[in-house]
Structure 1
Amino acid sequence: MDRSSEDEAAGIDETGPEAEDDTGEGGPPARQRGIQSIDQSLLLLKCMMELNGPVTLTELAQAAGMPASKAHRYLASFAKAGMVFQRQRSGRYQLGNLALELGLAAMNLSDFTNRTADRLYELMLATDSTALLSVWGNHGPTIVRWERAESLIATSLGLGTTLPLLNSANGLIFFSYLPRRFTTDVLRRELKLRAKTGLTDLDTSKAGLEELIRQTRARGFANGHFIPGLHAVSAPILDWQGEAVAGVSLITNEEVSSPENEKVRRLLAFCAENSAPAIPQGRAAADEG
């Protein structure tokens, strides 16, 4: 079916959204109808994003729950604005350059670290555990926010403390979720120190470290016992590329190594809520047109 055949089958033209969306008697005020019209058009864009690839008019209309003729009028307006474009050969629709520019602008304005810091107190209350936020600094993971639970834990940790890469839950998160170029120097220093002090608690061979990363990413969190007598669990705040922009940790007197543990579950949910949405992998195009 060529570009126009499906449109003709749906009985549609190129005139844009109907005027009746903004006129008429007995219904809501015109301004409200205009807002409803925008809501419906944005739903169409959302469905296009979720379908994740070039789609037919029929597929898109069904996903949005609206008649194909109505969907086409919205698409015609979006195409004029550059929000979508229609492939010449197949007639399928996909998001356009303006949609890309808006997405990039939103990504640039996203401040995951500050947003997480503002909500860290909520996590502390929800888990009744001391919560801390760290970012990657010149010498490794550095604590930048600290919310103490009522059951105060005596520890030497504080704002500005740098945590080890391999021997702390927070460090393992950055080691597992940052590109190697960020962690190479810190890792080299730690491996030299471990060799000098005779630490053998970890397999620090290349294969051993790769397995450590694999396990951490598979679980989505890391545990550590950097401070004797205390247990820590950490999870990442991820950006649009799936890289750690921050690490969030809970420090407690109890074991928190199971993914079924309530504190771990709340931590993972908190980090997911404050991370960038995962960017879906594109589905295979139905054609090359």
Structure 2
Amino acid sequence: METTKKSRDTIQSLSIGISILDAIAKAKRPLKITEIQEETNITKSNLYKYINTLVQDDLIFRDQNSGLYHLGSKLIQYGMTAMGNQDVLAIMSPYLQSISEHTNNTALFSVPTFNGPVIAKITRSNQILNIGAEIGTLLPPYSAAGKIFNLFAEQHKTKKWKENYQSTIVEDLDEAQTIRKEKIAFAKEPLISEVSSVALPILNYLNELIGIITLVGFSSDIPGTIDHPQSKFLQEMRVEISKNF
């Protein structure tokens, strides 16, 4: 009797919404709304309501140019919160540990999403330091990771992010040129007083952004120039890590 009761205690509308996400996930590519309807058999009027809700909650992303629907950034945040055994994080974990131990600062790994770079892994140093970020935190454009995302992520991912932050994104062309060339970005106290960061892109063999490594710590301990010994160490680590992809 208990098993029967549990099987009935469900919310059908939630299952229908999940079926839309399943359809996009199984296709392994963005879908048109007509394709989603074919896969789910949801009536057109209801499908629009479900999709509008999912888009509003960042569970689905609609490309304004193509009209195609992608899985949204919030799903990536949820997944990254739970994905202790994913390949990318499994590869990154020992490197983050090494970076944190070598520098005695906190090392972060964030992934590119349609809403910006989202923290997926944190390796903390022995310092008692509240960096104000946890797994799933969305990093802003004025952070070191934000600068890397702005310049190295695919344009269809940065478009919405830039629109959301357009009042706070101020691009220094000289700085941008240096970041592109040297593949390293610095941010002095972008979020918290006395806490600064330096970030580097992890690129695959197609030069696509896989993720961003960020070193965070007290401003006195974080490098602010390319020729700093810690900057050179981080650049060496970036090259080594990127070989995995």
The TM-score, its normalising length taken from structure 1, stands at 0.50
Alpha-carbon spacing, 1:187–1:264, altered in 2? closer, same or farther (3 Å)? same
State the aligned residue count.
Answer: 156
Q: Is residue 131–residue 217 contact of structure 2 (8 Å, CA) maintained in 1?
A: no
Aligned residue for 2:121?
145
Match of 1:99 in 2: none
In 2, the alpha carbon distance for the partners of 1:184 and 1:211 equals 22
Which one has a larger percent strand, Structure 1 or Structure 2? Answer: 2
TM-score, normalised relative to structure 2:
0.58
Larger Rg: 1
In 2, Cα distance between the equivalents of 1:236 and 1:248? 6
Residue aligned with 1:185, SS: helix
Check whether the contact 1:113–1:246 (CA below 8 A) recurs between aligned residues: no
Shift of 1:269: 1.1
- Given the alignment, which residue of 267, 270, 273 partners 2:237? 270
Contact kept? 2:122, 2:135, Cα under 8 Å: yes
CA RMSD of aligned residues (A): 2.3
Task: Report the AA paired with residue 209 of structure 2.
Answer: A
Q: Match for 2:157: what amino acid? A: F
Contact residue 143 and residue 162 of structure 1 kept, 8 A: yes
SS in 2 for 1:191: coil
Determine whether 1:251 maps to 2:226: no
**Following TM superposition, by how much is the alpha carbon of 1:114 offset from its aligned partner in structure 2, in angstroms?**
3.5
One-letter amino acid of the structure 2 residue matched with residue 229 of structure 1: E
Identity %: 21
Q: CA deviation at 1:117?
A: 2.7
Contact 1:175/1:213 (8 A) holds in 2: no
**Greater relative CO, 1 or 2 (CA 8 Å, sep 6+):** 1
Q: Which residue of 1 aligns with 2:135?
A: 159
Amino acid at match of 1:186: W
How far apart in 1 are the matches of 2:198 and 2:223?
6
Query: What is the correspondence of 1:103-252 to structure 2 with a 5 Å cutoff?
Result: 112-165=88-141, 167-192=142-167, 194=168, 203-204=170-171, 208=172, 211-224=174-187, 225-227=189-191, 228-252=193-217
Name structure 1 gaps, 5 residues minimum. Answer: 1-110, 195-201, 279-289
- Alpha-carbon distance in structure 1 between the residues aligned to 2:90 and 2:121: 10
CA displacement, residues 129-184 of structure 1 (integer Å, 9 cap, x when unaligned): 1111100123110111111111121221111110012x010011111112222101
